[in-house]
């Protein structure tokens, strides 16, 4: 797995288009929210800003890039060649998405760290880490599922739009309006409960048991996405 991950990291560093998607766009959006964080004090506070940062980086640097990577490796038959080696399927997929996952995680940690340094610190850092990890797990599982219906890297620009923009929209909706109304709907939507959890861990004031319950919908989406990916994922073109 690690040898595959090292090879994939080299490919990412050589691909300017992927670097732009993976670094510049999400970082620029995140810097905007951090710089103008005071404007969002009445809309979920810094917890809302943190949630939008997590989902902006997660949607573009992680989800979109992972789908593009898997589609590209399928198209050039790299996936097929890897399956002829001793590496098992989970190790192959893990190795391919490990670099983009690490890069996205580093971005989130750095940007949220800056936000905490210049503003209020999160109320519960360990639970915030759990919230970010569960969110990234959900987006990675959804990337596997989306890659199953993505024919090429170019096609990924279309297939990733609904979910990437949708999760950011859900995060903004929940962050701005809260979950006092339409609670169940908001929490069951992809990213809804994760947004609320990130906000709780940053803003505080919510019992730990209530926050932990918000992990259930996110983990349920992980299970659904993995089940879909196991049915739809293709290892070679035209399969």
pLDDT of residue 19: 67
DSSP H helices in 148-204: 153-159, 161-177, 183-188, 192-203
User: Residue 222, class by beta-carbon neighbours within 10 Å (0-12 exposed, 13-18 middle, 19+ buried)?
Assistant: middle
What is this structure's pTM? 0.89
Read off the pLDDT of residues 164-189 as tens digits, 9 standing for 90 and up. Answer: 999 999 998 998 888 888 989 999 99
pLDDT of residue 18: 66
Read off the pLDDT of residues 175-234 as tens digits, 9 standing for 90 and up. Answer: 888 888 898 999 999 999 999 999 999 888 788 888 889 999 999 999 999 998 888 888
In contact, 68 and 230? CB cutoff 8 Å? no
Angle (CA) 204 192 185, round 5°:
120
Read off the pLDDT of residues 20-59 as tens digits, 9 standing for 90 and up. Answer: 666 676 777 767 766 666 656 656 678 888 898 899 999 9
Instruction: With cut-offs at 50, 70 and 90, classify the pLDDT of residue 82.
Output: confident
3-class SS of residue 86: coil
Comparing 107 with 10, the larger pLDDT belongs to: 107
Domain extents in the chain: 2-232
Q: Around Cβ 86, how many Cβ atoms within 10 Å? A: 5
């Amino acid at each position: 797995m690690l040898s595959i991950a090292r090879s994939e990291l080299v490919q990412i560093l050589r691909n300017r288009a992927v670097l732009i998607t993976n670094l510049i766009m999400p970082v620029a959006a995140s810097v905007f929210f951090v710089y103008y964080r005071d404007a969002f004090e009445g809309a979920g506070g810094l917890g809302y800003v943190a949630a939008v940062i997590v989902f902006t980086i997660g949607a573009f640097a992680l989800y979109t890039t992972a789908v593009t990577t898997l589609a590209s490796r399928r198209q050039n038959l790299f996936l097929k060649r890897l399956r002829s080696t001793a590496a098992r399927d989970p190790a192959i997929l893990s190795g391919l998405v490990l670099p983009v996952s690490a890069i996205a995680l580093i971005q989130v940690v750095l940007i949220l760290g800056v936000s905490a340094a210049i503003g209020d610190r999160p109320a519960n850092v360990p639970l915030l880490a759990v919230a970010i990890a569960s969110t990234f797990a959900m987006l990675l599982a959804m990337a596997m599922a989306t890659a199953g219906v993505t024919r090429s890297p170019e096609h990924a620009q279309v297939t990733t739009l609904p979910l990437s923009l949708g999760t950011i929209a859900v995060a903004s909706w929940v962050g701005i309006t809260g979950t006092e109304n339409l609670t169940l709907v908001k929490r069951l939507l992809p990213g809804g409960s994760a947004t609320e959890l990130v906000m709780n861990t940053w803003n505080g004031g919510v019992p730990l048991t209530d926050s932990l319950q918000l992990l259930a919908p996110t983990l349920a989406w992980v299970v659904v996405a993995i089940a879909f990916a196991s049915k739809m994922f293709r290892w070679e073109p035209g399969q």
